Amino acid sequence: MSPRAEFDLIARIRNRNLTAKASVRTGIGDDCAVLAPSGENEVTVTTDMLVEGVDFERTWMPAAFLGWKSLAVSVSDLAAMGAEPTGCLLALALPPELTDSYFDNFMEGFLQGCELWSVPLVGGDISSSPIVSVTVTAFGAVPPGQAIYRRGARPGTFITVIGDLGLSRRGLELLQKEQPLLSEQLSTRDDLERWSGTPGRARAFRAHLLPRPLLSAGIWIRKNGLAESMIDVSDGLLADLQHILQESGVAAEIDAESLEPLQTVVKPSLELEMLLNGGEDYALLLTSTREQLGIMNERHPEDFPRFFTIGRVIQGSPSISLLEGGSKRLLSCKGFEHFR
Amino acid sequence: MSPRAEFDLIARIRNRNLTAKASVRTGIGDDCAVLAPSGENEVTVTTDMLVEGVDFERTWMPAAFLGWKSLAVSVSDLAAMGAEPTGCLLALALPPELTDSYFDNFMEGFLQGCELWSVPLVGGDISSSPIVSVTVTAFGAVPPGQAIYRRGARPGTFITVIGDLGLSRRGLELLQKEQPLLSEQLSTRDDLERWSGTPGRARAFRAHLLPRPLLSAGIWIRKNGLAESMIDVSDGLLADLQHILQESGVAAEIDAESLEPLQTVVKPSLELEMLLNGGEDYALLLTSTREQLGIMNERHPEDFPRFFTIGRVIQGSPSISLLEGGSKRLLSCKGFEHFR
């Protein structure tokens, strides 16, 4: 991309980026953005990349949805620490043949997310490239010592999922099978709803194309001290649970039965495999004591997403067992690879 | 990239990333990295992308140099604010056919930079992609109100360049012309020196492949309050001076004569055009009062890079004039585009 074209695009972003927060001293337009001192708070940072041909195809991922999703993925990492967003950076690589409207639609979706989750866009970089690729870095703040890590899981505590599992994978499989040509004009949830056909398909497409990170839920959990460890489900339930187990040096048992309400959330219901290994769910996976669970059940806000306790943390080297109809199947580290 | 392969690469980075700083509470291996409170300090953040086929060719950019340069580019943005680095994030996309040694060499160069500039690598993302692309986000800290912006230039002050201009562009042109097949084994400055042939070529190649951001110089300038505005030269002298002028609402005059010592730093000497519009110099460009310049001349540390005052800030709408042999040529906004 010529520097001139890049300056034009940056000027367009500066004009449209209305999100302003006291935390931003200087946003787009200098060598660095400058954020206000975080005072006592610790700063959480995360970066995620979405690459055309690997994470999405341009034919079925309209620019506005890509903009939305690229931010959602990073915000979900903040949610998993219980952090409040303070800002984000966007590095965007676009093929030169893409029109200005592709860029504008992308930014529309991205800035909608900025608005919704209160994450001001404070800077970035733009380049040309043979393929579309997006890297988003997000910052958050959390009171000292309160960030929720993967490493806190203890034997005798319970494993809970907040949000849906497997829906996003079903959406992806439908998109890969049908290879639809989703118009660039498709840019809102309502558009997607109308395009999808049935409510079941709509939910699956929405989960994959317009995921909603569980930011408020993550912050509420942290504020009320209700999790000893937490992660967001991006690689799949088993893979991400395995991360917690590995960092904590413990094992886990999952009750197949407890997963049923997660399977029957759409018609036709989701296969167990999809639930366990789907990925890109952006649900929250946490471990809590019985007391913490009790408080979560009693006091959660009205608009809190549905959650299910699906198993227990037990002593042992990091591995996952599935309890199903009275029998116990070991899905060891190796086991969950086979599942893929 | 399969999640398994990604986990392996992440484990390899965790094992090799020895840089630890008090500012890092939790580095690689959770949903977010967690940095210590910055106290009174403001936080500076910047992100930069290097894309194969646009910013480099894999044939002449050995992996270790790419690792080094991708960090150097972001550290230079911190330098331009006068900020001390506190951490960085790396998003790396690699073609699946690249070997593990490509990744290891890349990380070797990257982590050498982390060590040299005291920037701990705290997290990142890895993806597969048809082309190599690297996005680095760097964080820094600066005492409240002391960051040096582009917007502070005032009429009657002087324009100074710290470091070299045009060398990097010469290096790039030689690489593009000769299309050498630079071995992956080439991984140190000494290797590059030996490969280059003459000292002049070596300087040009080094400037382009292994740039050294002027971090200590930028911090020294800020600590001593010696610049009213500052930027790093990444798009080229004229383009980046224009950024300062635009943000400050002023014009500039440059003395062609004052550029001569910058041109004759190598043999054959650099053409004026290369100096003005080369780009990727990672020099510092600043405006200062006569008093500030006096202090800079008298008190700069022994190992300070060479610097030259090349012109003046004047009243007027953002534009650059070149004073050459008694005549004055306007290189207006349009003018410097023609230069490219």
Residues 272-291 of B with CB under 8 A from A: none
| Closest-CA residue to B94 (of B41, B51, B46, B152) | B51
Residues ≥6 apart with Cβ < 8 Å to A94: A1, A102, A103, A126, A127, A128, A129, A132
A11 touches B at CB < 8 Å: no
Q: Are A131 and A95 in contact (CB under 8 A)?
A: yes
Residues ≥6 apart with Cβ < 8 Å to A305: A162, A163, A214, A217
Domain boundaries, chain A: 3-142, 150-170+211-339
| Residues facing B43 on adjacent strands | A35, B141
What pLDDT shows up at residue A15?
63
Local structure of B111: helix, strand or coil: helix
What pLDDT shows up at residue B7?
62
Question: Residue A56 corresponds to which tokens in the numbers above?
Answer: 């999405």
Q: Is the pLDDT confidence value at A21 over 80?
A: no
Q: pLDDT averaged over chain B?
A: 91
For helices A3-16 and A100-116, angle between their N-to-C axes, nearest 10 degrees: 40
- Tens digits of per-residue pLDDT, A189-226? 888 988 898 999 999 999 999 999 999 999 999 999 99
d(CA A70, CA A106): 10
- Tens digits of per-residue pLDDT, A324-334? 988 999 885 44
Question: Residue B304 corresponds to which tokens in the numbers above?
Answer: 């300070």
As its CATH architecture, domain A3-142 has 2-Layer Sandwich (3.30)
Say how many C-beta atoms besides its own lie within 10 A of residue A114's C-beta. 24
| Residues facing B121 on adjacent strands | B88
Minimum distance, in Å, between the CA of residue A128 and any CA atom of chain B? 7
B93–A133 C-beta distance less than 8 A: yes
| Closest-CA residue to A337 (of B282, B66, B2) | B2
Q: How many CA atoms lie within 13 A of B204 on its CB side?
A: 27
In CATH terms, the fold of domain B150-170+211-339 is Phosphoribosyl-aminoimidazole Synthetase; Chain A, domain 2 (3.90.650)
For residue A249, which amino acid is it?
G
B231 touches A at CB < 8 Å: yes
What pLDDT shows up at residue B25?
84
B137–A49 C-beta distance less than 8 A: no
Residue owning tokens 């195809």? A57
Tell me the chain A residues in contact with residue B70 when contact means C-beta distances shorter than 8 Å. none
Residues ≥6 apart with Cβ < 8 Å to A2: B340
A33 touches B at CB < 8 Å: yes
Please tell me the total number of residues recorded for chain B in this structure: 340
A37–B41 C-beta distance less than 8 A: yes
Proportion of chain B above pLDDT 90, given as a percent: 78
B240 touches A at CB < 8 Å: no
CA distances for A214 relative to A2, A81, B89, B253, B276, angstroms: 39, 11, 23, 54, 50
Q: Is the pLDDT confidence value at B335 over 90?
A: no
What pLDDT shows up at residue A301?
97
What pLDDT shows up at residue B338?
38
Nearest to A123 among B3, B47, B49 (CB): B47
Q: Are B88 and B121 in contact (CB under 8 A)?
A: yes
What pLDDT shows up at residue A336?
44
Check: complex ipTM more than 0.95: no
Minimum distance, in Å, between the CA of residue B198 and any CA atom of chain A? 32
Instruction: Specify burial of residue B333 (Cβ count, 10 A radius: 0-12, 13-18, 19+).
Output: middle
A91–B49 C-beta distance less than 8 A: yes
B248 touches A at CB < 8 Å: no
